[in-house]
Amino acid sequence: MKLQLPEDDLVACVACGLCLPACPTYRVTGLEIASPRGRIAAMQAVQLGGAPIDAEFTAAMDACLVCRGCEVACPSSVPFGHLMEAARATLQPRRPAQRRFAEWLGYRLVLPHHGLLLALTWLLAVAQRLRLVPNRFGLPRLSFRSLRTPLDADAHPDVFLFTGCVMDAWQREVHRAALTVMRATGARPGLPGVHGGCCGALHLHAGLDDQARALAKQVIASLPPEGPVVVDSAGCGAAMKDYGRLLDTDGARAFSARVRDFSEWLAEQAPLPLRPSGTTVVVQDPCHLRHVQHAEHAVRTVLRGGYQLVEIDDDGLCCGAGGAYSVTEPSLSAAVRARKVDAIRAAAGDGPFVVASANPGCAMHLAAAGLTVQHPAELVEEALP
Ligand code: SF4
Ligand code: SF4
């Protein structure tokens, strides 16, 4: 069985190994098969050499975080993320029934049906009050008040805030902060209409590309045809900027061109005066902001006026969150995170600090390790005069 990967992309790898230091799974295991070069060699062996798709091959594909740090390091511009997504799409029908059922529950039943996700979130909030949800899950404290208070859209909007699925259910306060900051610039933010929920990023990550395409079409249809689409989740923003490639239509390409990460959009507006807070903020670059959207500088631009910014000395290595990776690969995810947490603490020094993260998955993953994490939108809101 072939993987049906674009052969030009597959043979573009010259096996130079320059991507190895940028790969978090290679850094924690030291294994060639856990490196980008090793994974590409495994894909080539299956597609070009007739090797079987066996358990070892599947494990090698599953252990990748799809962080795309290797793409930035690669002198041959190998589109590793797209290769990995396509390889996982081929693996999908061969997954064990138990896994396919779990994915059906999560990806096909809950995430695309926002009402159901919100109902389950209410139950989760009750479970939190009963202390039935361990802190190690990193779930933010779910607020009943926030859940029952919808977000407000302005009349005659000139910009739109994409609200998504999990983030709207679990981190709606970040959206509220983003809306407040957007209004402080003089903008009139609107919200998506019906079915403007899940963007399909997690589905793509898991190899469910048909479902991702269906969700992408719904998201595009949920928003008016003009005006910037601001996204305060780096993973969602990266996926939405790629709708043009995913759907291969002029409409999708035009939509993708309108998508901006929250900080990217804010940095394009007239600077907002911020109160210097004296708080130390360690900036964590989510992979999909840094390696895919290349918008990490905007976070520094919007926070600089209010905070003491500190850089992490690890060239933007992944934190180990990676979509559902912390659930599917818990030990590797924890090992990758441990490196990141050490790097964050080393950067911060002895005093108190907050981590700024523009991605909800990274925020929860790092919070589960005991760090205080806030979204740039919340930090900007707090520093408004
Ligand atoms: S996407 Fe990330 S984890 Fe996967 S091979 Fe590339 S650098 Fe390694
Ligand atoms: S840097 Fe690029 S060409 Fe070199 S081994 Fe990695 S993927 Fe292949």
Q: What does the pLDDT look like over 69-109, one tens digit per residue? A: 999 999 999 999 999 999 999 998 889 999 999 999 999 99
Instruction: Using CB atoms within 10 Å of the CB of residue 279, give its burial: 0 to 12 exposed, 13 to 18 middle, 19+ buried.
Output: middle
pLDDT band at 2, cuts 50/70/90?
confident
Instruction: For a ligand 1 pocket test, name from 67, 290, 319, 340 the mutation site with the most ligand atoms within 8 angstroms of its C-beta.
Output: 67
Long-range contacts (CB closer than 8 Å, 24 or more residues apart) made by 103-109: 103/206, 103/208, 106/324, 107/202, 107/203, 107/206, 107/208, 107/211, 108/208, 108/211
Question: pLDDT at position 134, please?
Answer: 80
Region 2-24: mean pLDDT is 94
Please give the average per-residue pLDDT across 339-355, as a whole number: 96
At residue 156, the pLDDT reads 96
Nearest CA residue ID for atom 3, ligand 2: 13
- Based on the number of CB atoms within 10 Å of its own CB, is 92 exposed (0-12), middle (13-18) or buried (19 or more)? middle
Amino acid type, 236: C
pLDDT band at 252 (very low <50, low <70, confident <90, very high): very high
* Residues in CB range of 206: below 8 A, 6 or more apart: 88, 92, 103, 107, 323, 324
Is 162 a residue whose pLDDT tops 80?
Answer: yes
Residues in contact with ligand 2 (CB, 6 Å cut-off): 13-19, 36-37, 40, 70, 73-74, 76, 78
**For range 235-254, the mean pLDDT:** 97
| Distance from residue 123's CA to the centre of ligand 1 (Å) | 35
Q: Going by CA atoms, what residue is nearest to atom 6 of ligand 2?
A: 19
Q: State the number of CA atoms in the 13 A half-sphere of 281 facing the CB.
A: 28
Which atom from ligand 1 is nearest to the alpha carbon of 287?
Answer: 2
